[in-house]
């Protein structure tokens, strides 16, 4: 008798490819449960992320999401290791259901370009599923935060105090230089902190017109004597470039006191002491997590170093995604602030904050 995946050779049966993976994966294997649960989610936002680029996916986005989720649940995060697992692990092959095996670049592109558009929506769909099967009841929410160091150069910091100090010094230099220009050319230029770039541009336009009017040729190189007009022009060009940099820094701060040049969204925070008791400032994010019945039901990533300022936006985000509020909010003393108490009272949520 010849079986479906076996062939007879010299009186013995040998296993041949292709295999029927269904018979090799136990009925109670975690990969089957994961696939069944994820199959019930709505992937509209994920497919929309692809449609907006007009690019045809190499692997069905829903299948790719299953593969990524299963890999992460087994502590596999590297795109190259996931690629290898898709080629060698029968559980990953089973998830692909005969689709072409993705390479590491396809996996990396999926996580970077497409998944961020839908990951929060998929996460909260999972939370709603847990509620529908009675695993979470939206009663007691335990909130805590942790600082996670980012993959960025820890020595590329930009400090708000330093930027403000240097900007103030330059402003005084600009005013002194404008006085010299007003005396030299009998003009009446002034500068305001609110419109400093426009004022600098106005002065530069005047100096440019003055150069054409007097037919002055600017010189460069060693041994060449620069005119006063050229020195003024070069100085104000430098002022303008520096002011543009200061403005860019101030926009990136967004209420923070620091940021990293290699990850401008990261803020420098005091991390927990290492084994040498060095509490070094490092670029990091403040990750807030809400837990009920050992399930993570809410997560938020913030640039604030203190937990105090994160509670209200974190709870608002959860309410927006879940469509409801938790009855009780439990947290440690790091969240104790009058504004937090008033917000919880307004939402008729009981607070258990130390």
List, for residues 218-238, the tens digit of each pLDDT value.
988 888 899 999 999 999 999
Closest CA to 266 of 118, 164, 163, 156: 156
- Burial of 103 (C-beta count, 10 Å sphere; 0-12/13-18/19+): middle
pLDDT bracket for residue 270 (50, 70, 90) = confident
Q: Residue 136 — φ and ψ, nearest 5°?
A: -125, 150
- Burial of 209 (C-beta count, 10 Å sphere; 0-12/13-18/19+): exposed
Top-confidence residue, 205 or 22: 205
Domain architecture of the chain: domains with CATH:
6-117 (no CATH), 140-152+265-353 (3.30.420.10), 158-260 (no CATH)
Q: What is the tens place of the pLDDT at every residue in 276-332?
A: 666 678 899 999 999 999 999 999 999 998 899 999 999 999 999 999 999 999 999
Name the strand (E) or helix (H) holding 341: helix 338-346
- Report the C-alpha gap between 310 and 308 in whole angstroms: 6
Tell me, what's the pLDDT at 155? 85
What residue ranges in 160-279 does DSSP mark as E strands?
258-260, 267-270
Distances in whole angstroms, Cα of residue 222 to Cα of each of 76, 84, 219, 230, 332: 60, 61, 10, 15, 66
Tell me, what's the pLDDT at 173? 95
- Decide if pLDDT at 1 tops 60: no
Lowest pLDDT segment from 47-56, 106-115, 216-225: 47-56
Name the strand (E) or helix (H) holding 328: strand 328-331
Phi-psi region for residue 263, left (φ > 0), alpha (ψ -120 to 50) or beta?
beta
- Burial of 252 (C-beta count, 10 Å sphere; 0-12/13-18/19+): middle
Task: Give 124's contacts (C-beta < 8 A, 6+ positions apart).
Answer: 321, 322
Phi-psi region for residue 29, left (φ > 0), alpha (ψ -120 to 50) or beta?
beta
Across 181-189, average pLDDT: 92
Q: What is the tens place of the pLDDT at every residue in 84-100?
A: 999 999 999 999 988 88
Upstream peptide bond of 18 is cis (omega within 30 degrees of 0): yes
Tell me, what's the pLDDT at 26? 86
Across 64-80, average pLDDT: 95
Q: What is the tens place of the pLDDT at every residue in 240-254?
A: 999 999 999 999 998
pTM, two decimals, is 0.76
């Amino acid at each position: 008798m010849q079986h479906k995946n076996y062939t007879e050779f010299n009186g013995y049966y040998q296993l041949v490819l292709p295999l029927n993976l269904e018979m090799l994966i136990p009925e109670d294997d975690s990969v089957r449960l994961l696939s069944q649960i994820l199959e019930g989610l709505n992937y509209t936002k994920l497919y929309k992320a692809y449609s907006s680029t007009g690019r045809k996916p190499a692997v069905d986005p829903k299948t790719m999401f299953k593969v990524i989720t299963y890999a992460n649940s087994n502590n596999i995060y590297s795109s190259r290791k996931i690629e290898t697992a898709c080629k060698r692990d029968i559980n990953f092959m089973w998830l692909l259901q005969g689709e072409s095996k993705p390479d590491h670049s396809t996996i990396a592109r999926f996580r970077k370009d497409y998944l961020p558009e839908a990951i929060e929506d998929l996460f909260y769909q999972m939370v709603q599923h847990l509620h529908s099967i009675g695993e979470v009841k939206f009663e007691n929410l335990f909130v805590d935060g942790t600082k996670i160091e980012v993959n960025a150069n820890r020595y590329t910091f930009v400090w708000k105090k330093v930027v403000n100090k240097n900007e103030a010094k330059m402003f005084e230099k600009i005013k002194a230089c404008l006085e010299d220009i007003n005396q030299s050319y009998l003009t009446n230029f002034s500068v305001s902190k609110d419109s400093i770039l426009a004022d600098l541009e106005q002065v530069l336009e005047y100096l440019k017109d003055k150069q054409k009017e007097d037919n002055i040729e600017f010189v460069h190189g060693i041994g060449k004597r620069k005119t006063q007009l050229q020195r003024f022009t070069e100085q104000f060009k430098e002022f303008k470039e520096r002011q543009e940099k200061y403005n860019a820094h101030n926009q990136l701060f967004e209420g923070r006191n620091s940021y990293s040049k290699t990850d401008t969204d990261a803020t420098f925070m005091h991390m927990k002491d290492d084994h040498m008791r060095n509490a070094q400032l490092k670029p990091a994010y403040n990750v807030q997590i809400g837990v009920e019945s050992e399930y993570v039901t809410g997560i938020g990533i913030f640039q604030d170093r203190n937990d105090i300022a994160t509670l209200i936006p974190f709870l608002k985000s959860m309410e927006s995604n879940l469509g409801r509020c938790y009855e009780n909010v439990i947290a440690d003393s790091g969240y104790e602030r009058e504004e937090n108490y008033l917000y919880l009272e307004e939402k008729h949520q009981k607070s258990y904050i130390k």
